[in-house]
Structure 1
Amino acid sequence: MRRVAITGIGAVTPVGNDAGTTWNALREGRSGVGRITVFDASSFAVRIAGMVKDFDAASAIPDPALRRNLSRPGAFGVAAALEALADAGLPGGGDYHPAQRGVSVGATVGRPALDEMAEIFHRLRESLPLYRQPIEHVLERDQNTPAAAIARAGGCAGPMVGVSTACTASGHALGEAYRIVQEGEARMMLAGGYDSLISWLDVLGFSLLGALTTDHADEPQRASRPFSDDRSGFVLGEGAVMFVLEDLESARARGAHIHAEIVGYAATMNAYRMTDPPPDGGGVSLAMAQALEDAGLPPSEVGYIAAHGTSTPGNDICETKAIKDVFGAHAQRVAVSSVKSMIGHLTAAAAGAGLLGALGVLRTGYAPPTINLDRPDPALDLNYVANAAQAIDTDTVMVNAFAFGGTNACLILRKDTP
Structure 2
Amino acid sequence: MRRVAITGIGAVTPLGNTAVETWAGLAAGRSGVGPLTTFDASTYPARIGGQVKDFRCTDLRDRRLPDAGRYGIAATREALAQAGIGPGTYAPERIGIAVGASVGRPELQTVVDVAYLRDQTGATEIYRHAPRDVLYRNANITLSALAVAAEAAGPMISVSTACAGSGHAIGEAFRAIQDGDALAMVAGGTDTLTSWMDVLGFGLLGALTVDYNDRPEKASRPFEADRSGFVIGEGAVMVVLEEWEAAMARGATVLAELRGYASTLNAYRITDSPPDGGGAISAMTGALDDAGIAPADIDYVVAHGTGTPGNDLSETIAIKSVFGDSAARLAVSSPKSMTGHLTSAAASLNVLAAVGALRTSIVPPTINLDRPDPKLDLDYVPNIAAHREVGAVLVNAFAFGGTNTCLVVAKPQEHE
TM-score for the superposition, normalised by structure 1: 0.97
Paired position in structure 1 for 2:282? 286
Deviations 1:324-378 (A, max 9, x none): 0000001001100000000000000000111100101000001000000001100
**Which whole-Å CA distance do the structure 1 matches of 2:239 and 2:390 have between them?**
22
2:90 is aligned to: 96
Matched with 2:317 is 321
Distance (Å, rounded) in 1 between the aligned partners of 2:385 and 2:79: 25
Structure 1 residue 237 corresponds to structure 2 residue 271: no
1:38 Cα deviation (Å)?
Answer: 1.2
Cα distance in 1 between the residues matched to 2:397 and 2:74: 23
Residue 67 of structure 2: aligned partner: 72
Q: Which moved more, 1:125-134 or 1:326-335?
A: 125-134
2 CA distance for matches of 1:119 and 1:206?
A: 22
Quote the offset at 1:129 in angstroms: 1.6
Question: Structure 1 residue aligned with 2:210, among 208, 211, 214?
Answer: 214
TM superposition shift of 1:148: 1.1
Contact 1:69 1:145 in 2 (8 A): no
> Which runs of structure 2 are paired with 1:142-153 in the superposition (5 Å)?
142-153=138-149
SS in 1 for 2:352: helix
C-alpha deviation, 1:111, in angstroms: 1.6
Q: Which amino acid aligns with 1:37?
A: T
**Do the aligned partners of 2:96 and 2:152 also contact (CA within 8 Å) in 1?**
yes
Equivalent residues of 1:109, 1:142 under 8 A apart: no
Whether the 8 Å CA contact 2:57–2:63 is kept in 1: the answer is: no
Q: 1:130 & 1:16 partners in 2: Cα distance?
A: 41
For 1:184-203, what aligned pairs fall within 5 Å after superposition? 184-203=180-199
- Distance in 2, Cα, partners of 1:54 & 1:119: 30
Q: Given the alignment of the two structures, is residue 118 of structure 1 paired with residue 112 of structure 2, yes or no?
A: yes
Which among 328, 331, 337 is matched to residue 333 of structure 2?
337
AA paired with 1:272? Y
Matched, 1:252 2:248: yes
Equivalent residue number for residue 361 of structure 2: 365
Secondary structure in 2 matching 1:244: strand
**Structure 2: how far apart are the matches of 1:396 and 1:290?**
15
Distance 1:106 1:135 in 2: 26
The unaligned stretches of length 5 or more in structure 1 are none
Match of 2:10 in 1: 10
Aligned ranges for residues 44-59 of structure 1 at < 5 Å? 44-58=44-58
Quick one: which amino acid aligns to residue 321 of structure 1?
I
CA distance in 1, matches of 2:54, 2:222: 27
Report the Cα offset of residue 393 of structure 1. Answer: 1.2
**CA positional deviation for 1:127:** 4.6
1:150 deviates by: 1.1
1:141 Cα shift?
Answer: 1.7
Deviation at 1:258, TM superposition (A): 0.3
Secondary structure at the aligned position of 1:91 is classed as coil
Contact 1:108 1:166 (C-alpha < 8 Å) held by counterparts: yes
| Residues 1:380 and 2:385 are matched in the alignment | no
What residue identity is the alignment partner of 1:84?
A
Higher mean alpha-carbon deviation, 225-234 vs 69-78, is at 69-78
Task: Show CA shifts across 1:260-298 (max 9, x none).
Answer: 111100000001000100010000000000100111111
Pairwise CA distance, 1:112:
1.6
Secondary structure of 2:10 counterpart: strand
Shift of 1:146: 1.4
How far did 1:26 drift?
Answer: 0.4
Name the aligned partner's letter for residue 175 of structure 1: G
Give 1:78's aligned amino acid. I
Is 1:26 matched with 2:26? yes
2:40 alignment partner, SS class: coil
Q: Which runs of 5+ in 2 are unaligned?
A: none
Q: Check conservation: 1:11, 1:83, Cα contact below 8 A.
A: yes
Give the C-alpha shift of residue 138 in structure 1.
2.0
Alignment of 1:292-307 (within 5 A): 292-307=288-303
Q: TM-score, normalised by structure 2?
A: 0.97
- Among 122, 128, 133, the alignment partner of 1:132 is 128
Whether contact under 8 Å (1:284, 1:408) holds in the other structure is yes
1:133 CA displacement = 1.1
- The C-alpha deviation readout for 1:187-242, integer Å capped at 9, x for no partner, is 00010000010011110110110000001111100000000000000000000000
CA distance in 1, matches of 2:280, 2:237: 23
Q: Give the aligned residue type for 1:247.
A: E
CA contact (8 A) 1:369 1:384 kept: yes
Per the alignment, residue 105 of structure 1 pairs with 99
- C-alpha displacement of 1:122: 4.7
* Aligned counterparts of 2:164 and 2:281: Cα–Cα separation in 1: 15
- The root-mean-square deviation of aligned C-alpha atoms, in Å, is 1.1
**SS across alignment from 1:57:** coil
Amino acid at match of 2:165: A
SS at match of 1:412: strand
* CA distance in 1 between partners of 2:64 and 2:142 (Å): 8
Letter paired with 2:39: F
- Give the one of 154, 164, 168 matched to 1:168: 164
Contact 2:63/2:70 (<8 A) preserved: no
Q: Percent identity?
A: 58
1:399 aligns with 2:389: no
Q: How many residue pairs end up in the alignment? A: 412
Secondary structure at 2:64 match in 1: coil
